[in-house]
């Protein structure tokens, strides 16, 4: 995957990482096809390469996955006694 991302230019990168892709990742999480931890690792990888290429992936802002992460963050903050700090940091 790293080699593919290395070879992509900015236009190709923005073309692939659209809102639909992030919504599909959320659907995969809900169907238990991918774990939350693996989804977070995938998003970190996407973010890393977007930063290296100087690209802003604005489609994530409009995705359902972003809303899900925001809810998870709020829930983790509310239950401070059981807060999973590693999950909160990843989110």
Give the domain range for residue 84: 2-90
**pLDDT value, residue 81:** 56
Task: Give the closest residue to 29 by CA, choosing from 60, 58, 61, 68.
Answer: 68
Q: What average pLDDT does the segment 11-15 reach?
A: 70
**Per-residue pLDDT band at 1 (split at 50, 70, 90):** low
**Token representation of residue 78:** 């509310």
Residues 20 and 65: beta-carbon distance below 8 Å:
no
Q: Residue 84 is inside which H or E element, if any?
A: none
74 in Cβ contact with 88 (< 8 Å): no
Q: Give me the number of domains the chain comprises.
A: 1
Looking at residue 62, its pLDDT comes to 86
pTM: 0.65
């Amino acid at each position: 995957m790293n080699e593919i991302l290395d070879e992509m230019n900015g236009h190709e990168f923005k073309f692939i990482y659209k809102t639909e892709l992030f919504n599909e990742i959320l659907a995969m999480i809900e169907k238990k096809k991918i774990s939350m931890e693996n989804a977070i690792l995938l998003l970190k990888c996407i973010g890393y390469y977007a930063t290296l290429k100087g690209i802003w992936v604005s489609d994530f802002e409009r995705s359902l996955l972003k809303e899900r992460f925001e809810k998870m963050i709020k829930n983790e903050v509310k239950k401070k006694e059981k807060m999973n700090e590693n999950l909160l940091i990843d989110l």
